[in-house]
Amino acid sequence: MGTPDFAVPTLQTLIQNGYDVPLVVTQPDRPKGRGRKRVAPPVKIKALELGLEVLQPSTLRDEKFRYQIKQLQPDFFVVLAFGHILSENILQLPRLGTINIHASLLPKYRGPAPIQWAIIKGESQTGITTMLMDKGVDTGDILLSQKEPIFPDDTAATLHDRLAVRGAELLAKTLHGYASDRIKPIPQDHRKATYAPLLKKQDGHIRWQKPAEELAAFIRGMTPWPGAFTFHHKNRLKILKAAPIPENPPEPAGTILNTFPDELCVATTKGALSILEIQGPSGKRLPIADFLRGYPLPAGTLLK
């Protein structure tokens, strides 16, 4: 049970390791892009390539769905980035349990956006956890976990791709170890839990009244989605890459500083932020020097 690109390596690993996958359950096709053409989820595309049966229920509350699953007499459900909540009567169906792959070191960063929030919060490492699902949100007993460093230039996209592979590798170890009774579930310490809430488009709005270090991490965590942005008058400027610099300018936060013509530095509450890549009204991602040639931003301009 999975939907986006993050789940594809796990599906491939199950097949490569010889597991019998009688059914792949994913979200329905959705309208996408300007033409609103219906597009299949990445997991469906890969499943069909592998010759697997695919089911795309709009709801899991239908008794017909439960009956279809029960008839398969599954040993395991494998769930990651599925997009549906599994009720207790569904979780009880597999003989050995429902294993979830979560992109954090639980109990930290429970919730739907653990990769983004780990970067935004300035963590130096995160990881992957396999756990037995229960009726809570990422609260089940831990089976295995594996650490993964967060590099200074990581964005949510680059970390996502590495963790997708790590998750697939960890699942293979988990299934074998748990089925042979060599892996024992460990309850989470709920007192140490933190939450990674779903990000919305407006959450990418840059608040210049923060230190430059925090803003650089924020931009990396918001890339590629929902994207970090600021406003110059009514124009939305999407910031794709930036670096903190140590100088502490006297100008108010959000003020463009007086620098070389091919540079763009913005004052913050601590340090300044050097903008390296940007996307303006033209919609093109550009190095800052190229952008400024067509869209000058003079010193003293206030970004909001």
At 187, list the tokens. Answer: 């309850």
Task: Identify whether the C-beta of residue 128 lies closer than 8 Å to the C-beta of residue 7.
Answer: no
In the numeric block, the tokens 């294993």 are attached to 99
Longest dimension (CA), the chain: 69
Task: Identify whether the C-beta of residue 273 lies closer than 8 Å to the C-beta of residue 215.
Answer: yes
Q: Tell me: the pLDDT tens digits for 46-104?
A: 999 999 999 999 999 888 999 999 999 999 999 999 999 899 999 999 999 999 999 99
Q: Tell me: the pLDDT tens digits for 28-47?
A: 999 987 788 999 999 999 99
The yes-or-no verdict on residue 264 having pLDDT over 90 is yes
What letters, b where the CB count within 10 A reaches 16 and e where it falls short, cover 84-106? Answer: bebeeebbeebeebbbbbbbbbb
CB-count burial class (<10 Å; 0-12, 13-18, 19+) for 139: middle
**Other residues' Cβ atoms within 10 Å of the Cβ of residue 239:** 27
Q: Tell me: the pLDDT tens digits for 127-169?
A: 999 999 999 999 999 999 999 999 999 999 999 999 999 999 9
Mean pLDDT on 19-34: 93
First-to-last CA distance in the chain?
A: 42
- Which CATH superfamily, name and number, covers 201-294? Formyl transferase, C-terminal domain (3.10.25.10)
Q: Write the CB contacts of 60 (distance below 8 Å, at least 6 apart in sequence).
A: 66, 84, 85, 86, 87, 90
Domain with CATH 3.40.50.170 in the chain: 5-192
Mean pLDDT on 167-175: 97
Cα separation, 268 vs 250, whole angstroms = 10
Would you state the pLDDT for residue 138? 96
Task: Identify whether the C-beta of residue 164 lies closer than 8 Å to the C-beta of residue 81.
Answer: no
pLDDT band at 247 (very low <50, low <70, confident <90, very high): confident
Task: Identify whether the C-beta of residue 119 lies closer than 8 Å to the C-beta of residue 224.
Answer: no
| Domain 5-192 in CATH 3.40.50.170 | yes
Would you state the pLDDT for residue 288? 98
The yes-or-no verdict on residue 281 having pLDDT over 90 is no
Would you state the pLDDT for residue 161? 98
pLDDT band at 277 (very low <50, low <70, confident <90, very high): very high
Would you state the pLDDT for residue 34? 76
pLDDT band at 250 (very low <50, low <70, confident <90, very high): very high
Percent of the chain with pLDDT over 90: 93
At 275, list the tokens. Answer: 């903008």
Would you state the pLDDT for residue 283? 87
Angle at 122 between CA 129 and CA 81, to 5 degrees: 35
Indicate the pTM of the whole model.
0.95
- Nearest CA to 236 out of 246, 250, 226 is that of 226
Domain with CATH 3.10.25.10 in the chain: 201-294
